[in-house]
Amino acid sequence: MTATRTPRFPGRATYRQAAVVLPVSGLLAGCGLGEPDQTYQQAYDAMYPDAKAATEAALPGVEVEQLTRDTTECGGLDVSADKDASKLSAYVTVGGEVDADDRRSLADLVRAVGARLVDQGWRAQIPDRSVVGGESPAPEGELALTENSEEAAEMSLRKADVHGWVNIRADVVEGFDWREVTTSVATKCLRNSEWKEGEDQIW
């Protein structure tokens, strides 16, 4: 008997976590503290191809699909709750379902994707307890995990001069014999080069 697969898309949790960090980035940019020249589209283009290719290479025989794609308006005055599309943060998740025939652990699945990103110049991150929600680079080449349990494994990576991060996650699907692996890309709150005052941006 074949069960019907209903993906939970755990990568969406990454977006909720990212939403906590992004206002801080926007606040610093609004104060003129090192605002990046990179646009949100340039950051996305520097991350998404690496993330998708790494996921496909690590999961041979698995159909890797784009599960979610969205943007958040974050431009305008930092003190205002009304944001415009002069700045955007972009979020994309790709993923696939790994059958029980693949005997790799959740951690090994995450590291398999992460290793291919490290080969492309990415660097794993470890929690930085000195800052709420902060991260700092792991030793170069180390495939450090930010979570590793029987239910889930996770890794966060960043790349020099790219204003965003990649999050890899593997989850057990309760009651079924497969695992879900997702790779999520999130840009910081960055300039939207196509925006004109008074216009909304739909990506």
Q: What is the pLDDT of residue 84?
A: 84
For the stretch 69-128, pLDDT in tens is 999 999 877 656 678 889 999 999 999 999 989 999 999 999 999 999 999 999 999 887
Q: What is the pLDDT of residue 32?
A: 41
Helices 106-119 and 40-58 pack at an angle, to 10 degrees, of 130
φ/ψ of 102, rounded to 5, equals -80, 110
Q: What is the pLDDT of residue 131?
A: 67
**Cβ neighbours around 47 below 10 Å, total:** 26
Q: Are 154 and 145 in contact (CB under 8 A)?
A: yes
| Element spanning 125, H or E | strand 122-128
Whole-number average pLDDT of the chain = 81
pLDDT tier for residue 171 given thresholds of 50, 70 and 90: very high
Residue with the two structure tokens 């929690």: 127
Which of residues 151 and 21 earns the better pLDDT score?
151
- What is the C-alpha to C-alpha distance for residues 116 and 49, in angstroms, rounded to an integer? 12
pLDDT tier for residue 200 given thresholds of 50, 70 and 90: low
- pTM exceeds cut of 0.75: yes
| Element spanning 12, H or E | helix 12-30
Q: Which candidate, 148, 132, 67, 62, places its Cα nearest to that of 97?
A: 62
Q: What is the pLDDT of residue 9?
A: 34
For the stretch 50-74, pLDDT in tens is 999 999 999 999 999 999 999 999 9
Q: What is the pLDDT of residue 25?
A: 39
Give the percent of the chain with pLDDT over 90. 58
**Cβ neighbours around 194 below 10 Å, total:** 13
